[in-house]
Structure 1
Amino acid sequence: MPDFSTIDDITTKKQTFFQYLRPAIEAQNQIIVHERQFILLLLNQIDNGLGFSKDDEQKLQFIIEKYQIDIDTFTRATLAPLLKRIDTIPVDLVLIQAANESGWGSSRFTKEGYNFFGQWCFTQGCGLVPSKRDNDKHHEVAVFKSPKDSIKAYMVNLNTHPAYRLFRAIRADLRAQKIKPTAEKLAFGLINYSERKEAYIDELLEMLKHNQSLLTGNTDNVELSAT
């Protein structure tokens, strides 16, 4: 991983940061696309009175466990709600949150634990202890084996945790209206991501606006990759 803290030029640092993480984010989104297509295929099979193969059931069980939803019987009524969880997250939003939470890749937790999104864990020894943690707190900042693992955990978190029901609801409503879920629209669903609430959302929106030219820049010559 590049040592982002040593890059003095701000624009170069941002470009390097975005280019480094983008491939891994796009790869995770592609996995989600395939999972969503699989669920849609199963729903079509149900509608046509067709059963599932053993391979279908095993793959479905893996997806159910990943997205943390309890399903006992496989019917349209039980499987359709999965589509609310199995959906992509705009790359721009992931990049901006990573930049915000990691200080553009320069934070201690990013350098020592590949944690780009400030994700916590709650078992003693599971991660890094924050230096300013209150005495009555017991959380640690999760440690990951790679940036890819951090991105995957972040996406699963947004797609499963009760705190982000609004995020998923906004996305599903936009899908139902055949409107593309953009970073700007979905940012409002992250109200519970930070204790700063509305101020956090405003900061993300400002970062999206301020870095728009870099987010939409040409990355054809990217050499770095977090995958």
Structure 2
Amino acid sequence: MRPLAGIIIALGLVASGVLLVQVMLDQPSSRQSGLPIQPNESVKRLPDFAEIADVKEKKKAFFNYLRPEVELVNQRIDSQRQFLLQLQSRLEQGRTIGQAEMNQADLIAREYGYDLRQLSLETLEPLLKRVDTLPVEMVLVQAANETGWGSSRFARDGLNFFGQWCFKAGCGLVPLSRDSGRNHEVAKFDSVGASVASYVRNLNSNPAYQELRDIRFDLRQQQMDVTAAALIPGLIRYSERKQAYIDELLQMLETNQRYM
């Protein structure tokens, strides 16, 4: 998560030094929370995963706990995407788009930090690069990495699974290792769904993850599967550890496939 207008702040969370998650700022930071979220109010408590002695059972429990929330977020995004694809098809056919539909497209664009200005084939393509789902397995593996399988203080006390930051006093949890002069906090969320939604929207809007969105768009264009292994390299700017972080996530993905 980074501060306003392009300032990059380094963060050390759970075993990986991470850059921040940004959301609707002009020059957002790589991990800052703040986009509008659609929380699932039913999931507000985190099981005590540390109490599960069997490692295999702990992994299964963590993935089973988080997966429904990721799928719900993806379902909402897919609904938005299908709406935009329908508009794209109608524009390709030379058909008229009504004002209500234009307004709806503009609302979606604003949610993803994109200035639609006018609705056309040329402006819809960049928006469709943003309004797209993420592989569930990638989200699950990154959450496991960032929280130590749900055992971190930020996951337990703030339902924060992805190391997202905020900058208003009292907005989250103060990191115990925060450097003097820093004012960031690790964001707290009211529900698991809110945490997941904020993280996903960050990847879909932050300039730091343009590479990830380009990879996904190219796969779509080639009618190929958008897999976790294909997109994880696009997270190269998520952590200060860069390639080492990517290698670790890919290794975790391979090792834990059986538990997902």
Using the TM superposition, give the Cα deviation of residue 31 of structure 1 relative to its aligned residue in structure 2, in angstroms.
1.1
- Deviations, residues 70-101 of structure 1 (Å, cap 9, x unaligned): 12111111122111111110000000001011
Q: How many pairs does the alignment contain? A: 215
Contact 2:78 2:133 in 1 (8 A): yes
Q: Tell whether 2:258 aligns with 1:213.
A: yes
Report the equivalent of 2:124: 79
Match of residue 10, structure 1, among 48, 55, 59? 55
* TM-score, length-scaled by structure 1: 0.91
For each residue in 1:99-148, what CA deviation from the matched residue of structure 2 results, as whole angstroms up to 9, or x when unmatched?
A: 01111111111111100011111222221110001113221111111010
* Unmatched 5+ stretches in structure 2: 1-45
1:68 aligns with 2:118: no
Which of the residues 102, 107, 110 maps onto 1:57?
102
Q: Aligned partners of 1:21, 1:31: CA distance in 2, in Å?
A: 16
Q: Greater CA deviation, 182-191 or 58-67?
A: 58-67
Match of 2:185 in 1: 140
Q: Per chain length, whose mean CA-contact separation is higher, i.e. which structure has more relative contact order (CA < 8 Å, sep 6+)? A: 2
Q: Secondary structure at the match of 1:81?
A: helix
d(CA) in 2 for partners of 1:143, 1:50 = 45
1:1-227 equivalent positions in 2, closer than 5 A: 1-215=46-260
User: For 1:127 and 1:82, how far apart are their aligned partners in 2?
Assistant: 31
Tell me which protein shows more helix as a share of its residues: 1
Contact 2:102/2:119 (CA < 8 Å) preserved in 1? Answer: no
Gaps of 5+ in 1: 216-227
Q: Percent identity?
A: 52
Structure 1 counterpart of 2:118, one-letter code: T
CA drift at 1:208: 0.5
RMSD: 1.2
- 3-state SS, counterpart of residue 194 of structure 2: helix
Counterpart residue type for residue 232 of structure 2: A
Q: 1:30: Cα distance to partner? A: 1.2
